[in-house]
Structure 1
Amino acid sequence: METIRIAGVEKPVSRLIKGTDYFRHSDYETAAANLDAFLAIGGNTVDTARIYCGGESEEVLGRYMEERKARDRFVILTKGAHHDERGPRVNREAIREDLLTSLEKLRTDHVELYALHRDDPNVPVGEIIEALNEHIEAGRIGAIGGSNWTWQRLREANAWAEAHGLVGFAFSSPNLSLAKANEPFWPGCVSADRETLRWHEEAQMPLLSWSSLARGFFSGRFSPVRRDDPDIVRVFYSDANWERLRRAEQLAREKGASVVQIALAWVLNQPFPTCALIGARNAEELRSCREGMNIKLTREELDWLDLIAEER
């Protein structure tokens, strides 16, 4: 499988990243089979978070790695400092609490990739960078990133880190998909707009996209007249996205691929390093994603799919 490199991580990072936000103890065998199949297609990077399934996602992953003696085969991306019912938690104490809890649940002493699940613009970036660097120096984290951080805050944080001789953010993880979000799927979430993409191209910062397939928008399950999923309607239903879907269907026919594979290829053919978080739950879906990863799109095809050419 194709990989990218992220500063601070010795292992290559697979361009397909396995989502685990549905991993629960009650269905452990299914989760284990998913991970077996993911390793079988050459994947090695998994995405989890302190809050997923009340902590069960990390626990299931930790159990699997221990039982299979497979920790060395994985690059772990986990996330912390998500807000709670009292509000934002992007501070030194919350980062430490969440990270140490995650490591315990994952049954490991370090993670290769650690992202802040949310940002709090009221907290100076220097305080955040200093807090994260403590854990890098302690060997608990390889590389740090921002999930749902704007490119402006990432740039500010990295400028501060460079000025103070500290390690800055090595990756970003917003939503990026061919279908554009009308509004955040969850409060505080960030979707990559064209300014974000221009900055990533200039900075060449790796982008690890969540909801890279727009939560099934390209699966054939949705149409303008079908409105039984209010969240998908709210976030992804628009005339522009239906046109993007139509163009993906056309290009899929021309290339002998599926529409989902074209949508995935759009994410993975950006002019900067990208990975796609995928929710594939069986071996067939995983193999299909790997085939989509191998599709090459030109800059002209990327722009045509995204309706950019008409706007110039």
Structure 2
Amino acid sequence: MEIYNNHKRLYIAALLLFLALTLYAALIPAYKAQNDNAPLPNSKPLSEQEALGKAVFVKEGCVACHTQQVRNVEMDKFWGERPSVASDYARNKRPDIWRNTANLMGSERTGPDLTNIGKRQPGKEWHLIHLFQPRSVVAQSIMPAYPWLFEIKERAAAADVTVQVPEEYRKNIKGDIVATEDALNLVAYLQSLKQVSLPDGRPVPKFLYPKQSTPDLKGMGTQTEDAGLDGASLYAANCQACHQQNGEGLPGAFPALKGSSIVTDADPKALITVIMKGYNGRVKEGFAEMPPIGVNNNLKPEEITAIINHERTSWGNNASKVTVDEVKAVLAEIGK
């Protein structure tokens, strides 16, 4: 063919073929998918502060370790109430024509998935402490600290947001640790990451490959134990980040469970209610609002029982253990 002997014609033909394939295989499908993908009714666009926080998230490279996608496998059930769907990302828009940072789904889960972090950790206090020194709230964390997002002032102003970091992590810092605008914007973005419910009538994707459930103990009388679950491990996974391994919490941020009258009360109803519905009764004292851990983390009655029994018998607490049946009765009463 003559075209193979004419490099100009060959080049033009290859270029036209490439452009046609790009148009029909990439651009048109992407445009149609974008127009057909409506945001979920209960979702909200990012506020100006949250959008600025997203830019900080990108700038600091957080997407390298944190995903924002709940896969449809059982092991991801901890990160969200359901698997992610395309409509979860419909409100994400590229900031300008040159950059495409709309979706920060990520590909590495070196750190926890952040799809629902706004519900798992709604208070800004925890996030600020975590950013300044992650190991002050999660001892095993491998996340780097971000001290440049904070200022050290001899005395904070009334309008400043201070961070209550434990003494052992202040490293001889004299003065107040104050969050910068970048830190507050980043936290606002993290607080905005909340998984919303699908519209009524729309099929909810299921988590696949579930773990084998705990054997049913029917016929063995009242369940006085917590199905052999490790309360210390469950506490570490669900509660320790705020209340600490020693149960002493963080002064001015998270209350202590050691010696707590709610934890050691003979009637466990108040403690179970706090776990399932959260608690904001001590916000005026400077403590962060507690999220509904039991609901957010899909805790089963047996897991709640194991956590409660660990708290009631650790750090010098000497309250009687509760049973799975007692926990189930309270859950039925307060309404999960």
TM-score by length of 2: 0.25
Q: Indicate the structure (1 or 2) with the bigger Cα radius of gyration.
A: 2
Larger strand percent: 1
TM-score by length of 1: 0.26
